[in-house]
Amino acid sequence: MQRGVISILLLQHGVALSRIALAQFHLAAGDVGQALSAANTALEFAVEKRLGLEQGVVHRTFGEIYRALDNRDEADAAFRRSFDVLDAIQSRPELAQTLLAYGRFRRGDNRQEDRILIQRALSLFEEMGATGWVDEARAALAAA
């Protein structure tokens, strides 16, 4: 019984993450409409299955999509939702990635606040020993 429950949970996380990856793929390919559609599907699934981590990640993806659409208000709201969800569940790796993405997005809005977001991401990456992300956060901090 327990083994079956674990398999179902892993499958649900895999389905949600694959839908998020599809949204990110479409965004990277420049197909923002398909990215938005895939992200909506991913969010619906994550909410239905109560997958908090995936909800936080898909909200960050929405932030990137709305950024590409030059819809700053929606992008800002999506990054904030991502932050709120990931902070609440204490998912440090994903929270750090959201802080970095949000800091980059806000670059220039309020230099001090932008730097605080990126600095917090950098601190989390350093605590986790995520060297590649540390380098990326340092570069973003230098550019902020």
Per-domain residue ranges of the chain: 1-90, 93-144
Instruction: Map residue 71 onto helix, strand or coil.
Output: coil
* 9 against 98, higher pLDDT: 98
Does the pLDDT at position 138 exceed 90? yes
CA–CA dist 15, 21 (Å, integer):
10
Do 93 and 130 meet the contact criterion of CB atoms below 8 Å apart? Answer: yes
Confidence of residue 143 (pLDDT cuts 50, 70, 90): confident
Angle subtended at Cα 134 by Cα 119 and Cα 84, rounded to the nearest 5 degrees: 50
Confidence of residue 141 (pLDDT cuts 50, 70, 90): confident
CA–CA dist 112, 7 (Å, integer):
45
- The average confidence (pLDDT) of the chain is 90
* pLDDT per position as a tens digit, 71-82: 999 999 999 999
Residue 22: its pLDDT value, please? 96
CB atoms within 10 A of CB 88: 11
Do 46 and 54 meet the contact criterion of CB atoms below 8 Å apart? Answer: yes
